Amino acid sequence: MLKIADIEMKNQVVVAPMAGVSNPAFRLIAKEFGAGLVCAEMVSDKGILNGNKRTREMLFVDEREKPLSLQIFGGNRESLVAAAKVVDQETNADIIDINMGCPAPKINKIDAGARWLLDPNKIHEMVSAVVDAVSKPVTVKMRIGWDHDHIYAVENARAVESAGGKAIALHGRTREQLYTGRADWDIIKEVKDSVSIPIIGNGDISSPEEAKRRLEESGVDGIMIGRAALGNPWMLYRTIEYLEKGILVADPTPEEKMRIAILHMDRLIALKGEGVAVREMRKHLSWYLKGLKGSARIKDAIMEGTKRDEMVDILNNFLENLPRNESNSEEESKDIDQEPINTDCAC
């Protein structure tokens, strides 16, 4: 099993931190579908220290989500350390993760996120400063490099390890790639072979079979799943079952998908109130509906809905009129999946 410091996960499946997505409602569903570790979306060190209400709310951890990793970012050593102390002393997160992968210009221009990938010395300095200041284990999520001319993945991983970092989640793309092209698992394997701390591989894990193949070929300690779990927590359960038992569980029925979608919405409403939550759920419902025959026909209603009961009625009416035993066409899948994850801040 995956083990970070003295925290042992029940399996090797980790859910990625995704901006605008990885709140407690999403994370709890991921945990109920079996995820060994869930990660909260990244939080600004300055936001934590300034007492920003919304930022502080992002530090909330439901006990049912544990073990949980809470991710912070920043470019200044003093403020990053101070924010890490807040997470260490004032939250019940199990792990403090430092973001070194965010490609967003607004993050990189403050010398944070993926900007660190150009300087192993800065990585060592920043990680060691945080490690020395907190009692919780410190981990890092990073990309393999800034661009194809600046890939220092091994050097950066060794800097994390020598600074006292307890694990690395490594996305097999450069900052320049964003989410285009393919993740380079050869570099992930090279990093795994170069350090002794756990490595969690991330990138293009879209099926249980792919997860198993990447684990076996790279030797990584865990698999991080991100976009493949959007509107599809069954991906987590199916992957765990396949890794542990060799069983490829069937995809969920449309009725089951809608049941979990409504549960997700109700939990989000409890967190944020109906107005904010329903608007935020529009993108999630697009993801839950992806692949279902005829889902493109209700996209406008979904994207305009403002009330919980209105959304439930739309979903129930959709189910009543859904052709049985048919999957959506590729064209319709693309149509309903019109609101992608915010790749500016999802790492």
Contact status, residue 313 vs residue 321, Cβ threshold 8 Å: no
d(CA 336, CA 292): 9
Are β-strands 95-100 and 138-145 bridged in parallel, bridged antiparallel, or unpaired?
parallel
Which residue out of 39, 102, 345, 347 is catalytically annotated? Answer: 102
* Phi and psi angles of residue 67, each rounded to the nearest 5 degrees, phi first: -75, 145
Question: Hunting for tokens 């990885």 — which residue is that?
Answer: 22
Please, what is the Cα angle at 315 between 309 and 316, to 5 degrees?
85
Residue 347 falls in the annotated catalytic set: no
d(CA 333, CA 295): 8
- Give the residue numbers marked as catalytic: 102
